[in-house]
Chain A
């Protein structure tokens, strides 16, 4: 364990004390959980009436359709933002100054704006359908963040690699395509996947522009008077699925990071984790 420097390896007395603290905090946490469960029962959240809708095929189909729409938006947004990220990163790494400027401006602007403002702008001002609006907003934001990830990845490949490639007489494009990018992508994989988790989480913003995704389906069920407004049951069904999907993807990122640490192929690169935003827009990556 890396953090044992913070306390001595406990002796018998300290172990007993820690056990006491542990017991006390467990009791407090369990007490809180018990209080929540009591509240759930007290406000009649577990009545058959509120849970019956989930046994109906129509309701299940509604939820599945919502989940499908969420995944569809995620798939489009993921692929498109990877493409946009690639294009913008190429622009930022370009040898031509005007191209670099334009790419930098776009990346910095879209990273500094809240995703929701972009989504609403496309949805309200440009009068686009909910799904393309959601995908556009997600693509612009995640594409710009990914562009920064790609750029720092390529820049963090050890200098000798680039120099060696040039001294072999390779052209600019060849150096990029055969030497730098393959090494960078391998090293960046965990960071890219973590950014995709952000995209998956943000698909739920579609709920706010009436895109018929998972949360929207839940809201439809929750506001149904016939089932006694089963709001809490809906949250209890939806959140584990949402959180589970995101955890699965996060776990994949951790797995990739662990694998990468063992791999000799990524020795020449070191990539910092993706940042949620710029500290100083215009100052580039930090």
Chain B
């Protein structure tokens, strides 16, 4: 029990690290995911191909391999950034593929009439997508995007093994200090539950506020 009270600042630091990773990587994943989804439905063939390849490759890459390649590989090119930024890049790009697929299936749930009406008003592709389709698609992709971001929060645990400060990584220090390893893990588990439950609460609110009644 006193594992938590004795090392509150250590746990707090770890939790903060996990939250930071999750928030930054989520933002990156959302931006890139929406961009890739619009590429995948664009009239320009080479953009469509780029989006398809992006999704197919990243969805089938083990995240550990991606971390391995980004965190240990990019420095060989002389790209030296803080490890946390590398971790955000890897996590964000990986998750963007899943966001893209969620958004794309959301676009498919918008009735065809909406796109046709927009077109008949003389809207361009960008206007149709940005002003008519995506706002409606956004409402139906809230639950799948929420699940994807929860998965992102859980995946951020991998970053701890690549010397980024986050929650799971705290076990090493505590283990060396000689605390009960079982309790250490219990509190780590509680920390992750806090993060994932917060995300699902936020998305439940969003779903209530914006979601499509089904």
Residues 28-53 (chain A) with a chain B CB within 8 angstroms: 29, 39, 43, 45
Within 8 A of B (CB), among A203-218: 203-205, 207-208, 215, 218
Q: Chain B residue with minimal CB distance to A45? A: B76
Is there a chain A Cβ closer than 8 Å to B72's Cβ?
Answer: yes
A-B contacts besides A43-B77, A242-B62, 14 pairs, CB < 8 Å: A6-B125, A22-B47, A29-B50, A114-B154, A117-B157, A117-B168, A117-B185, A124-B181, A205-B64, A231-B72, A232-B76, A250-B60, A276-B151, A277-B151
Known: A120-B171, A215-B68, A239-B61. A231 touches B73 (CB 8 A): yes
B61 with A242: CB separation less than 8 A:
yes
The 8 A-B residue pairs whose C-beta atoms are closest, nearest first, are A276-B151, A5-B115, A246-B60, A204-B62, A114-B154, A204-B64, A114-B157, A201-B62
Residues of A within 8 A of B129 (CB): 6
Separation of A43 and B79 alpha carbons in the complex (Å): 12
> Which single member of B115, B181, B184, B185 contacts A6 (CB below 8 Å)?
B115
**Interface residue B12 (Cβ < 8 Å from any Cβ of A):** no
A-B contact pairs, 19 of them (CB 8 A): A5-B116, A6-B41, A6-B115, A6-B125, A21-B47, A29-B46, A43-B78, A116-B157, A120-B168, A121-B185, A124-B181, A203-B62, A215-B64, A218-B68, A222-B72, A247-B60, A276-B148, A276-B150, A277-B196
What is the 8 Å Cβ interface bit string for chain B, positions 28-71, against chain A (1 contact, 0 not)?
Answer: 00000000000001011111001000001101111111001100
CB contact between A215 and one of B46, B65, B182 (< 8 Å): that residue: B65
Residues of B within 8 A of A207 (CB): 64, 68
Report the Cα distance A214→B68, complex, angstroms: 12
Interface size class of A (residues with CB under 8 A): 35 or more
User: Could you tell me if B69 and A235 are in contact, using CB atoms closer than 8 angstroms?
Assistant: yes
C-alpha spacing A8/B122, complex, angstroms: 10
Tell me whether chain A's interface is mostly helix, strand or loop, or mixed. helix
The complex places the Cα of A199 from the Cα of B62 at a distance, in Å, of: 10
CA gap between A204 and B67 in the complex, in Å: 11
A244 CB to nearest chain B CB (Å): 8
